[in-house]
Structure 1
Amino acid sequence: MKAAWKLRKYLSPYIFFAILAPSMMILEVVMDLVQPTILQKIIDNGIANGDEKYIMSMFALMILAAFLGLIGGIGCSTYATKTAVNFATDIRQELYETITRFSERNKDHFTLGKLITNLTMDVETLQRAIIMLLKVFVRGPLMFIGAIIFVYITARELFSVLLYVVPLLAISVIVLTQLTGKFFRKVQEAVDIMNTKVQENLAGIRVIKAFNRKTYQMKQFLEVNGLLTKRNITAEQVVAVLMPLTALIVNMGLVYALWIGAIKVDNNTLEVGVILAFINYLMMIMNGLMSSSNVLIQIARAIPSAERIVTVLEEPNDILNPAEPMKTKLRGEVEFKNVSFSYTKQGEPVLKNISFQAKAGETIGIIGMTGSGKSTMMKLLPRIFDVDEGEVLIDRQPIQNYDLQILRQSIGYAPQKAALFSMSIEENLKYGKSDANVNEINVALEASCAAEFVEKLSEQEQHVLTQGATNLSGGQKQRLAMARSFIRKPAILILDDTTSAVDAISEKKIQQAITTNFPNSTKFIVSSKVSSIKNADQILVIDDGHLIASGTHDDLLKSCEHYKEIVETQVEKGGVLND
């Protein structure tokens, strides 16, 4: 409940609607409650005495009550829906903004499947709970209490029946509601597992097909789907018990009331209209308890969702803006001082005591074996991760001192895996610079050698990419990712193995364009190919997280056996070193 209470601030902007909805429901409930009493009056006073005028006046009063109840019901539904939908929309927006600010460590802590569940199922569960809380939870208790009061006033002779029926109904509802909450918490955990598995399988569908592992993955999905099915059935079975159990208790009460009523009517101590009114009120009591129990069950489902949402919203971000951030323009001088880093605080360091300097405008090549830590080094510059030990400095200032937005706007980053979005090519490029004009877009496409295939598309820059840009080849995606970083004209340009799927001729053109277009940018080129970094001002050789050597290509051929071995291996395999 603490988690649900913490979310009350999202309800505050809609408090007027939240008050108006139950107020309208009170009108509907009061009108429903008076109708059995009016019916009793019609039977005992009108029909019994043959008073047609009285009957018609009471009948008109009943119609008026029904009409006023209709207005109350419609008003309650309208304002309750407005409150709940807006409440859910604001929470979903806040969740999305929180998740986008998360560091990689934060995201790994929750898993993508769980975060997707938070944004969809958990928020939807809260929305349903708010609607039911404003509509049904007002109606249920009011109907329940009001019916008891009206029985006491109009059918006191049968009131003793409620002393047995009501406690049994209340105990049943409370016990089953508590059980439901426990079971639905397990259901949501199973949904997390299934969402994670689906997301993982869809992302790797090509690998699954290539290795013919469809049957294996189907078997794995069958297991997680079976777990969800089992938990869902258990939870729904508990809910399903409630209706027949309450119906049994109420029917027993009806039989008991009819038995007592028949005796009293036979003794002329009770009128038939009182029995009919009592039956109506008893059904109202049951419906009030049932509707209240449905709300409690929905709340029992919503509480775990609220807890999970609050956990995400309150997750401390690893990457924070300083209290008084520096907002000066970056020149691009970079220095690593004894930098060490691991993806998990207790895990083996990926980078170990890395130190080097890069002057503004220099080209720095980074080479090493797969998994040596090259890409990880580059992720430290835009603060995708923060170092565990040591310091990363830009323009002789620790990067933690800079305003995050200015820092990242000053860096053009083309990651190892080209991430493009399901929108037009132009919109993807404008991720690098939102106000880029046509000329800037064309220059960026030319520099990355992307113009040669974009011009052949029927809609050119307006060509819409599919999810994951599956309608482009690997090389085309890499070139667009480079164009997106070029368009920014950054102080620091990072190209993380972005030419691995690009042919040698295009790669040479790209290198020439980088030299021509970015003379003042500090350029970091991560590559497994010597041809990509041969002409760099400084080459860093990384091996198992250590910086084992640095220098120019010619210097490293003389002084670094590891670099020399890489060069010889690539030459033996037919690699060509660009002049």
Structure 2
Amino acid sequence: MRSAIKLTKYLKPYMFFTIIAPLMMVLEVAMDLLQPTIMQHIIDDGIANNDTEYVATMFGLMILCAIIGLIGGVGCSIYATKSAVNFATDIRKDLYETITYFSSRNKDHFTLGKLITNITSDVESLQRALTMLLKIFVRGPLTFIGAVIIVFFTARELFPVLLFVVPILAFSIYFFTKISGKLFLKVQEAIDQVNTKVQENLAGIRVVKAYNRKQHQIAQFTSVNGSLMQRNIKAGQIIGILGPLTMFVVNIGIIIALWQGAIKVDNGTIQVGVIVAFINYLMMIMGGLMSSSAVLMNIARAIPSANRIVEVLEETPEIKSARSVETTPLKGEVEFVGVSFAYNEENEPVLKNISFKALPGETIGIIGATGSGKSTLVKLIPRLFEVSKGEIRIDGMSIKKIDIQTLRGAIAFAPQRATLFSKTIEENVKYGKDDANIDEIIESLQSSQAYEFVEKLEAKEKHIITQGATNLSGGQKQRLAMARAFVRKPAILILDDTTSAVDSISESKIQKAIIDNFKESTKFIVSSKISSIRHADQILVLEDGYIVGHGSHDDLMENNKAYQEIVETQLVKGGTLDD
């Protein structure tokens, strides 16, 4: 419940809608409560006395009440919807913004499936609960209280019937609401598992097909989907019992009321209209309790969602930004001082005591076996991960003291796995620089050797990339990812094995473009191929997280056994390296 209270701050901008909606509902309820009393007078004072004029007047009053009630009901629906939708939209926006600041560790803590459920199902649950709270929850208690009071004053002879019906209904609602809250928490957890499985399978669909594991994955999804089904059925069955049970109790109350009423009418102590009105009010009481129970169940379902949302919103991002004291643009001098990094405290560090210095304009090549820590090292520069020990400095200042937007604004990073968005090629390239003009875009495409295939497309730069870039080859995706980095003209350029799917001729042209166009940029090139980094000013040879070689290509060829072994494995028939 504390989490739900914390989220009420999102209602403050829409407080007018939040207040006016229940007031409009009060108007509708008041008109509804008048209807049975008017009907009672029509029967007992009009029809019984054959007073046609009185009956017509009261019918007109009933129509007027109905119209006023309609205005109240429509107004309540409009304002409640505005309040709830805006409330949910703001929460969803903050959730998304919070998640974008999460490090990989933060995301692993929650899992992607759960985060997707937070933004979709959990927020939807809160929106639905608030809508019902502003509309139905006001109507339910007011209808119940109003009907009980009117029965007490106008049909006191039948009031004892309520003393039998109401406690049973109230206990039933409380009991089933309490159980449903626990069941819906399990339902949300099952939705997490389904979302996680779907996300995982769709991301790896090519692997699934390549290894002919379609039936295996279907079986796994069927398992989690079946678990969700079972939990939904159980929750639905519990809720389904409440409706018939409530109707049964009310029907017993109506039978008792008719039996007692018939005796009292025969004794002349009550009129027929009173019995009719009482039955109407009894149905209103049932409706009020039922609608209140529906709201309570939605609230019971929303509270676990609120807890899960607040848990994400209050998660402390591992990587925190700082106000930069730097007033001039970053030049790109990068220094690692005794840097170590582990993905979690329990595991052995991936990088161990890394120290080196890169001057502005230099090219740093990084090579090593798979798992040696090459990609991890360059991801530490833009603070995609936080170092475990040591310090990284840019222009002599710790990167922890540089505003993270300033830091990342000075870096262009092309990751090992090229990620493109379902937009046009132009929009994907401009992701690196919002205000890039068409000349800059074409220049970056030419530098990355992407223009050679882009210009052949019918829409050229306006060609739309499908979700997951399934309409591009691996090499095309890598070249577009590099173009996105090149267009930024950064102080620090990081290319993480971005030419693994590019042919040697195109790679050679890309290397020349980097030399010609990024003379002032500090360049980090991660590769498993000697040909990609042999011309670097400094080459770092990584092995098991350590730097086991550091120098130029010629120096390492003379003095470093690990580098020599890598070169030997990449020799071609002619006895030269594959350039």
Q: What letter corresponds to residue 34 of structure 1 in structure 2? A: L
CA contact (8 A) 1:327 1:406 kept: no
Q: How far off its partner does 1:365 sit?
A: 0.4
CA contact (8 A) 1:508 1:578 kept: no
Distance 2:323 2:251 in 1: 67
What does residue range 306-455 of structure 1 map to in structure 2 within 5 Å? 306-323=306-323, 325-455=325-455
TM norm structure 2: 0.99
Q: What letter corresponds to residue 195 of structure 2 in structure 1? A: N
The one-character-per-residue Cα deviations of 1:333-392 (angstroms, maximum 9, x if unpaired) are 111111111111222211111111111111110000011100000000001111010001
Q: How far off its partner does 1:259 sit?
A: 1.2
CA contact (8 A) 2:323 2:402 kept: no
Q: What percent of counterpart residues are identical? A: 67
Q: Is 1:458–2:458 an aligned residue pair?
A: yes
The verdict on how the C-alpha distance between 1:257 and 1:561 changes in structure 2, with shifts beyond 3 A counting, is: same
The verdict on how the C-alpha distance between 1:325 and 1:141 changes in structure 2, with shifts beyond 3 A counting, is: farther
Q: Is 1:294–2:294 an aligned residue pair?
A: yes
What's the secondary structure of 2:90's corresponding residue?
helix
1:17 corresponds to which residue?
17
Q: What letter corresponds to residue 20 of structure 1 in structure 2? A: I
What's the secondary structure of 2:571's corresponding residue?
helix
Distance 1:219 1:184 in 2: 25
What does residue range 66-145 of structure 1 map to in structure 2 within 5 Å? 66-145=66-145
Q: How far off its partner does 1:223 sit?
A: 0.5
Distance 1:497 1:270 in 2: 91
CA contact (8 A) 2:29 2:142 kept: yes
The one-character-per-residue Cα deviations of 1:445-465 (angstroms, maximum 9, x if unpaired) are 111111100100001111010
What's the secondary structure of 1:372's corresponding residue?
coil
Q: What letter corresponds to residue 105 of structure 2 in structure 1? A: R
What's the secondary structure of 2:420's corresponding residue?
coil
Q: What letter corresponds to residue 234 of structure 1 in structure 2? A: K
User: Which deviates more, 437-446 or 167-176?
Assistant: 437-446
Gap regions ≥5 residues in structure 2: none
CA contact (8 A) 1:534 1:577 kept: no
TM norm structure 1: 0.99
CA contact (8 A) 2:572 2:578 kept: no
Gap regions ≥5 residues in structure 1: none
2:271 corresponds to which residue?
271
What's the secondary structure of 1:11's corresponding residue?
helix
Distance 2:472 2:576 in 1: 27
Q: How far off its partner does 1:576 sit?
A: 5.7
The verdict on how the C-alpha distance between 1:107 and 1:574 changes in structure 2, with shifts beyond 3 A counting, is: farther
Q: How far off its partner does 1:160 sit?
A: 0.7
Q: How far off its partner does 1:255 sit?
A: 1.1
1:235 corresponds to which residue?
235
Q: How far off its partner does 1:578 sit?
A: 5.7
Q: How far off its partner does 1:566 sit?
A: 0.8
CA contact (8 A) 1:372 1:545 kept: yes
What does residue range 101-250 of structure 1 map to in structure 2 within 5 Å? 101-250=101-250
Q: How far off its partner does 1:562 sit?
A: 1.3
Distance 1:70 1:8 in 2: 29
What's the secondary structure of 2:472's corresponding residue?
coil
Q: How far off its partner does 1:327 sit?
A: 4.3
Distance 1:5 1:324 in 2: 36
What's the secondary structure of 2:548's corresponding residue?
strand
Distance 1:10 1:574 in 2: 70
1:467 corresponds to which residue?
467
Distance 2:555 2:454 in 1: 40
1:519 corresponds to which residue?
519
The one-character-per-residue Cα deviations of 1:490-547 (angstroms, maximum 9, x if unpaired) are 1111000000000000000000110010111111000000000011111000011111
What does residue range 59-70 of structure 1 map to in structure 2 within 5 Å? 59-70=59-70
The one-character-per-residue Cα deviations of 1:274-306 (angstroms, maximum 9, x if unpaired) are 111100000000000000000000101111111
What's the secondary structure of 1:571's corresponding residue?
coil
Distance 2:322 2:311 in 1: 23
2:549 corresponds to which residue?
549
Calculate the aligned-residue CA RMSD, in Å.
Answer: 1.1
1:34 corresponds to which residue?
34
